[in-house]
Amino acid sequence: MDKLLIEGGIPLEGRISVSGAKNAALPAMAAALLTEGRVILRNVPRVRDIGTMRSLLDELGADSSVTHEEHGNRVEIEAHKLVTRLAPYELVKQMRASVLVLGPLVARFGEARVSLPGGCAIGARPINLHLKGLEAMGATIEMDHGYVTARAGRLKGASYSFDTITVTGTENLMMAATLAEGETVLENAAKEPEVEDLANLLKKMGASIDGAGTEKILIRGVGALHGAEHSIIPDRIEAGTFLIAAAITAGHLTLDHVEPSRLTAIIAKLSEVGVRVTELPSEAPNEVQRPMLEVQATRGLRAVDIVTQEYPGFATDMQAQYMALMTQAEGSSVITETIFENRFLHALELVRLGAEITVDGRRALVKGKTVLSGAMVQASDLRASASLVLAGLAAEGETLIDRVYHIDRGYECIEEKLSKAGARNRRISEAG
């Protein structure tokens, strides 16, 4: 099991390229099950979760290949003829996003049997809203031995309102509705950029979708979809993490391959804290025109409260990183987590480094500024691991982070990117 050793106290300087969004790439890969044609995805990040989804598609019988490109991977998927409709527990337990194959399998093949994903470190995240939506579209649902089986002839268009906002639920039902008979209206839908990116791919494949990125999505079912080529959007959470990396080290970074319009909540909050983030024009005229971000910070950070919300609010996936930043801000801040019920596991590890944090239910009080000192800590989930990396960059001495396989699930070569910006960090394998 790999560990990450970080020597703190060094301001980050230089340029970092942001990878493609794994939370956009995963549903895009699942969408390839909706067609016999070849789906080509570019700017796919080189992270563990992508490999898990590819293993699941291979298990189902799809053909896939990966080609390394200058920025991200090119992934080709062809689901001409599947050998099974079963998504086994052994794969689903590794990554909850595996449930995204449910909607496409039922829509195209009339049947799917998918392992229930169960809970995870940060909360329960049940899939009941996915299932209720499929039932509204005419599917029959059975659950036994830890699996859910969904069957349908051809799904029927329906109007369905989510009881609570769910990103994967919105994506699952939107994919299923593309091949349903008639119109489907999804209300109280997730508005995240990853949902909109999936819709853009589906439309390239021949789907008829309006309203993706808003709370009401209209899908007009078609008889069949075809192959397409699509470039995955930049990862807004990775970009936000590196913005905070510059802030917490009083550094000066330039981020390229970003979409600033998707980062308004974190940029606005950093501005309140005292961090200057400036949009710069693209320097890559022959590529997709995306601006860059320059971030500069000083040691005089101000404590500012946050409340996590669905997009376009402050993302729950940035909460842990922001908590690390608040340990270095002057004053007290209150962090309120409204999305997941158990997402403060990183707080105890930050306390081991010297932070003053008190957790009360879904609220955490952070008192700063505190001097962090390097220690051995343990990552509990993907974003918690990122917060520990950030704290390690700001701490005095060496910080050793265990269970960094969590960070490998969603951050592409993070130690290499940080090293290019001047950080002193290295990966230590179990063998030494």
* Residue numbers annotated as active site: 120
CA dist 412 and 145 (Å) reads 36
The answer to whether 230 touches 187, Cβ cutoff 8 Å, is: no
| Rounded CA Rg of the chain | 22
**Residue 214 per-residue DSSP state:** B
CA dist 373 and 319 (Å) reads 22
User: DSSP for 295-332?
Assistant: EE--S--B---EEB-STTSB-GGGHHHHHHHHTTSBEE
Give the N- to C-terminal CA distance of the chain in Å, as an integer.
Answer: 10
CA dist 388 and 348 (Å) reads 11
The answer to whether 368 touches 329, Cβ cutoff 8 Å, is: yes
- The two three-digit tokens of residue 229, written as one number: 């080529």
Helix/strand/coil for 147: strand
Beta strands 228-231 and 216-220, pairing class: unpaired
The residue type found at 297 is A
- The two three-digit tokens of residue 9, written as one number: 């106290």
Q: How many helices (H) and strands (E) does the chain have?
A: 14, 24
Helix/strand/coil for 285: coil
Closest listed residue to residue 172, CA positions, set 144, 137, 146: 137
CA dist 167 and 250 (Å) reads 34
Place of tokens 């990450």: 4
